[in-house]
């Protein structure tokens, strides 16, 4: 969304018209839609790209969110996935956005309160390097969308959901697991976890932030917020046999939207030229806007 300033120093008539316009007309910028929503197993989310992203960068993010949707579908046993992303480039959308995307690299997070979905002012903050890390997108969405807390840390510092030996299906909120080279077949690479924990494998020593806040496993917490979910039977299993639908990726074009608010109360009749100048000012305003701009008109009388 863009704004425009109007000025003139040509003659007194133009100046008078502009003054009348500013006094009697309110120019209101219309924001984009409100925060995201959940419906029928899919999430609709609004993205505010906090810089002027090129087409290549937006494509990289689109691929990352598609891959993240596949992981989310696996982690929820085919019950949840991403549906539609409404993308506002160049720092538009702001407060209503669910996700902020940044150009620079950094450590991503979701702000409190959790869950934040549907609360204007709550966001996921994803930094540039995360466009190659679908796992991080799902981890941060689990904070934002499900109200889950970390399981790699707790009130007393480092923690873990599943103790030795680590397991790939432990909990996405744990972040990952690592085995030293040569130990139990370990090769020194971090493995990304693909599931959420259940009560059977959740934090036996009760030292994680998730346990501290909710006192239960990730799946049990998720069902509190989404009663339509079905709890897995037994331990979670990797590789759920289901393919996520293609996400819908909508990039909104920048545009100017303006509303003229006309005062038609009794005070506009005295002196009689006030209404005349207001009408002339409105006509001038319409002539000054550019092709493609969207304009609305509202009015109010003595009773506002």
DSSP string computed for 254-303? P--EEEEEEE-SGGGGSSTHHHHHHHHHHHHHHHHSPTT-EEEEEEE-S-
pLDDT tier, 9 (very low <50, low <70, confident <90, very high otherwise): very low
Residues 185 and 192: beta-carbon distance below 8 Å = no
In terms of Cα–Cα distance, which of 264, 260, 263 is closest to 296? Answer: 260
Architecture, CATH, for domain 37-252:
3-Layer(aba) Sandwich (3.40)
pLDDT tens string 142-196: 999 999 999 999 999 988 887 655 566 778 998 766 555 655 555 656 667 889 9
For the chain, give the longest Cα–Cα distance.
92
Average pLDDT over the chain, rounded to an integer: 81
Q: Domain residue spans in the chain?
A: 12-30+255-300, 37-252
Q: Given a cut of 90, is residue 231 above it in pLDDT?
A: yes
Coil vs helix vs strand at 169: coil
In degrees and rounded to multiples of 5, residue 139 shows phi and psi of -60, -50
pLDDT of residue 164: 58
Higher local confidence (pLDDT), 175 or 13: 175
Residues 114 and 277: beta-carbon distance below 8 Å = no
Looking at residue 174, what DSSP letter applies? Answer: G
Q: Which residues of 8-47 are buried (b: 16+ CB within 10 A; e: fewer)?
A: eeeeeeeeebbebbeebbeeeeeebeebbbbeebbbbbbb
Q: If you search the block for the tokens 């339509």, which residue do you land on?
A: 228
pLDDT of residue 63: 96
Higher local confidence (pLDDT), 3 or 175: 175
Count Cα atoms within 13 angstroms, Cβ side, for 200.
8
pLDDT tens string 54-73: 999 999 999 999 999 999 99
Residues 166 and 97: beta-carbon distance below 8 Å = no
Q: What is the mean pLDDT of residues 87-105?
A: 90
pLDDT of residue 95: 81
Q: Residues with Cβ < 8 Å from 38, sequence gap 6 or more? A: 44, 117, 145, 226
Note the pTM of the prediction, 2 decimals.
0.73
Q: Of the given ranges (71-85, 142-156, 212-226, 280-294), which has the lowest mean pLDDT?
A: 280-294
């Amino acid at each position: 969304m863009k704004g425009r300033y109007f000025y003139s120093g040509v003659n007194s008539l133009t100046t008078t018209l502009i003054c009348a316009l500013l006094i009697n007309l309110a120019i209101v910028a219309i924001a984009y839609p409100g925060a995201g929503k959940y419906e029928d197993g899919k999430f609709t989310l609004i993205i505010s790209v906090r810089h002027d992203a090129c087409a290549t960068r937006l494509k990289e993010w689109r691929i990352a969110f598609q891959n993240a949707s596949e992981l989310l579908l696996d982690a929820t046993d085919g019950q949840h996935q991403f549906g539609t992303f409404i993308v506002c480039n160049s720092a538009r959308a702001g407060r209503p956005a669910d996700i902020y995307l940044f150009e620079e690299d950094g450590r991503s997070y979701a702000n409190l309160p959790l869950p934040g979905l549907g609360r204007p002012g709550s966001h996921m903050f994803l930094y540039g390097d995360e466009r190659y890390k679908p796992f991080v997108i799902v981890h941060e969405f689990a904070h934002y969308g499900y109200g889950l807390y970390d399981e790699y840390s707790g009130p007393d510092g480092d923690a873990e959901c599943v103790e030795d030996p680590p397991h790939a299906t432990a909990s996405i909120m744990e972040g990952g697991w690592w085995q030293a080279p040569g130990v139990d077949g370990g090769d020194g690479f971090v493995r990304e976890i693909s599931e959420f924990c259940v009560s059977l494998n959740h934090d036996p020593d009760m030292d994680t932030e998730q346990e501290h806040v909710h006192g239960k496993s990730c799946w049990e917490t998720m069902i509190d917020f989404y009663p339509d979910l079905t709890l897995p039977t037994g331990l979670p299993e990797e590789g759920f046999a289901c393919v996520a639908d293609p996400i819908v990726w909508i990039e909104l074009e920048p545009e100017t939207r303006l509303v003229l608010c006309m005062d038609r109360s009794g005070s506009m009749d005295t002196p009689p030229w006030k209404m005349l100048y207001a009408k002339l000012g409105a006509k001038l305003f319409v002539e000054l806007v550019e092709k493609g701009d969207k304009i609305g008109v509202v009015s109010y009388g003595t009773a506002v």
